[in-house]
């Protein structure tokens, strides 16, 4: 909340920007936070592991990538040129979105090709994005795999 407030103040200082862009982006960001939270909560609380739980597991990971994207986009909007080697042209804001989405997903996966580099101190949020990805894989995925193995062992035991 504090980061969102500080971001809002920084964005409000930029008089050339449309204030509705900030509101729209904030709504999208909050939406993906809520959706990601709900997906992770449902996957975590699942009693029976089936294909829907595995699809939820994948969806949660992709949603974390969207959260990382909004973090990167917020940084780039507040501090332009925080990331170098973005494929941006002045006529194509879609290229910025595509590049930051790619950067977020690659960072979440902890691949880090190095083709896009963060420069300012706040763009070091890449560490946060990478940690989110690793924690998700290590904790959430391990819990689901453990439940699946336990479920299969229980089914085998009940057959005999």
- Tens digits of residue pLDDT in 86-141: 766 555 677 788 888 999 999 999 888 888 888 887 777 888 899 999 999 999 99
pLDDT tens string 44-90: 999 999 999 999 999 999 999 999 999 888 888 888 888 887 766 55
Q: Which residues pair with 117 in a beta bridge?
A: 84
pLDDT at residue 39 is higher than 60: yes
Report pTM.
Answer: 0.78
Residue 14, phi then psi, degrees to nearest 5:
-85, 100
Report how far residue 129's alpha carbon sits from residue 25's, in angstroms, rounded to the nearest whole number: 18
110 phi-psi bin (left φ>0, alpha ψ -120 to 50, beta other): left
CA distance 83 to 115: 10
Rg of the chain on CA atoms, in Å: 19
Any idea which fold 2-159 has?
Helix Hairpins (1.10.287)
């Amino acid at each position: 909340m504090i980061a969102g407030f500080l971001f809002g103040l920084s964005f409000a200082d930029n008089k050339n920007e449309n204030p509705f862009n900030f509101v729209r982006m904030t709504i999208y960001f909050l939406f993906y936070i809520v959706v990601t939270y709900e997906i992770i909560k449902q996957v975590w609380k699942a009693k029976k592991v089936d294909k829907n739980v595995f699809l939820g597991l994948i969806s949660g990971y992709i949603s974390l990538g969207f959260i990382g994207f909004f973090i990167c986009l917020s940084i780039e909007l507040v501090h332009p040129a925080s990331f170098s080697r973005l494929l941006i042209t002045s006529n194509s804001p879609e290229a910025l979105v595509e590049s930051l989405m790619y950067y977020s997903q690659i960072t979440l996966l902890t691949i880090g090709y190095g083709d896009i580099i963060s420069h300012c101190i706040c763009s070091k949020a890449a560490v946060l994005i990478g940690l989110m990805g690793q924690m998700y894989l290590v904790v959430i995925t391990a819990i689901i795999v453990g439940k699946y193995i336990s479920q299969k062992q229980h089914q085998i035991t009940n057959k005999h």
